[in-house]
Structure formats: C-alpha cells, structure tokens
Amino acid sequence: MDYFTDTHTHLSDEAFGGEKEQDEAVARAVAAGVTRLVIPDVSSKERKAILDLCRRNPGHCFPCLGLHPTEIEDNWKDELMMLERELARCHETGAESRTPRIVAIGESGLDYHYGAETAAWQKEAFRVQIELALKYKLPLVVHCREAMGDTLNILAEYKNRGLRGVFHAYSGSLESFRELSRLGDWHVGIGGVLTFKKAAIAGFIKDIPLDRILLETDSPYLSPVPFRGKRNESANIPVIAKFMSECTGWSLGEIAEETNRNADRVFGL
C-alpha cells in the first residue's frame, strides 16, 4: 500500500460532529493509507477543538494556528491578539507539555469572493500572520480566492526574507505559479478540484514540478469525483492521487513518495 499525507483537512468542522465522529474519520483515513493529517485553523472558535483532536491522535494529526480571511470581522484585531498569545504559549511549552507542536501559520490569506468588503482588514491580518510565520520560522498556509494579484503583491514585499509555505487549493494559472516560485519557497496544494470536469488545473498540472506539489482534501469540502455532493474526508486522498497519476503519467508510488517528502520538508512532519 502507498501511504499519503493530507496537508489540509478541516476535521474540526461541524460537518464531522463531535469527537467520536472526528476520530472515526481519522481511523478511516489511516486505514486508507492516509496516515498524516494537517489541520488548519480558521479562528479562535475552532482552536480548542483542533488542539484536542491532535492530542487524541498523536502522530496522525498536526495543528496549524491562523485566522481565515472569511472569519475577519469587527473583532479581527482581538482575534489576532488571541492568535499571537496561543502561538507564544504553544511555542514556550513545546515538548514539555501535552500541547501539540504547531506546524504552520494558517489558514491565512485573502478572499474577495465572500469578503471583498473587508479587503483592507484582510490585507493587514495577512501581513501580521506573515510576520508571525517569519518570527517563529513556520510555513504559511495561504488561502487565495479571487485575489491572486493582491496576494502576490503582498508576498513580493517579503521576497528574500525566507518566507515559505503552501497555496492551498491552488486555483491560479501556470503563470501565477511561476511568479509565486520567484517570490519564495512555495508549494501548491492539489485536491478534489483536479478531478472536476473542465478544471483548469488538470490542463497544466504536469507542468508543475512534483517536488512543489502537496496533496490535500480541504474536507469536508471539495469532494473528488465520484464523491461530489458527499462529505469529503481524508480517506479520499488516494482517489485524488490516482487521478493525478492519470493526468501526468507519474506513477502512484512516485506521487506518494514525493508528496510525502514535500510535506516533511514544508511542515517538518
């Protein structure tokens, strides 16, 4: 069996119900060969559930801390203060406590599809989280929806400062990927969208070097074909990998080995 890493799964989402259902989803993933799951944060509302999930599933679940752009409201500065305090606390306690090791800052970024009216706040919050990633030497998990130009412009401000991370659920063009590659040590997260009919990414995925690709589900969202309309789970990663193999000619073994290596390098798993 090939083994995989899901580098973006929202297992603390209400779609998974309580702890029992979350842990069952982890068990299904492991049984399917998806042995490591990176859990992004969206705001203080889910943070405790994420950390608890990772405590219950050590070696399988790894937490991030961040503020999602669509969660930015009037209290966004307070949210960032809470984020910074929690990050400092986790950093200070580390291996001496049951606090799971934080593997990235995020999910952060810009989203003009649902939150264009908060664009100015989003940009400020994005810059704060970039600075946190640099301060703690952590990768950044970037959410970018209908905001590629502004996202690249902000990242350009930090060129040559060692910023690194992943553009999750990559929806940009090949040209945008090449521009991104000039701005830092960036990977792209590829998930169920790859399997969608007329998905643009399927047309140029083979032109992205395999050592720049991470596999993800973004569960419970973006279920791959043939599971559209159903709750997505990390156990579906092999379905995405198989479709990627068919698109590119890369073997399933190559994809598993290289994307796992990429996840190790990005997140320090």
Task: Please state the domain extents for the chain.
Answer: 4-267
User: Does the pLDDT of residue 17 top 80, yes or no?
Assistant: yes
Percent of the chain with pLDDT over 70: 98
Separation of alpha carbons 241 and 262, rounded Å: 14
Whether 148 has a pLDDT exceeding 90, the answer reads: yes
Whether 89 shows a pLDDT value over 90: the answer reads no
Q: pTM surpassing 0.75?
A: yes
Tokens representing 238 are 């092999």
Maximum CA extent, the chain:
50
| Measured distance CA(35)–CA(226) in Å, rounded | 22
Asked whether the predicted pLDDT for residue 94 surpasses 60, the reply is no
pLDDT at 97: 56
Residue appearing with tokens 């990772």: 54
Neighbours of 162 (CB within 10 A): 10
Q: At a CB cut-off of 8 Å and minimum separation 6, what does 69 contact?
A: 108, 109, 110, 111, 115, 118, 122, 125, 126, 143
Q: Which residue type sits at 107? A: E
Helix, strand, coil abundance in the chain, percent, nearest 5: 55, 15, 30
Determine the Cα angle at 64 with ends 250 and 123, to 5°.
Answer: 95
Whole-number Å distance between alpha carbons of 128 and 133: 9
Percentage of the chain beyond pLDDT 90 is 90
- Segment 28-46 shows an average pLDDT of 97
Q: How far apart are the C-alpha atoms of 117 and 104, rounded to whole Å? A: 27
State the DSSP string of 58-97: TTTEEEEE---GGG--TTHHHHHHHHHHHHHHHHHHGGGS
The residue whose two tokens read 């990050």 is 87
Fill in the DSSP letter of residue 100: P
226: preceding bond cis by omega (within 30 degrees) = yes
* CATH fold for the domain made of 4-267: TIM Barrel (3.20.20)
Mean pLDDT of all residues in the chain? 94
Confidence grade of residue 77 (pLDDT, cut at 50, 70, 90): very high
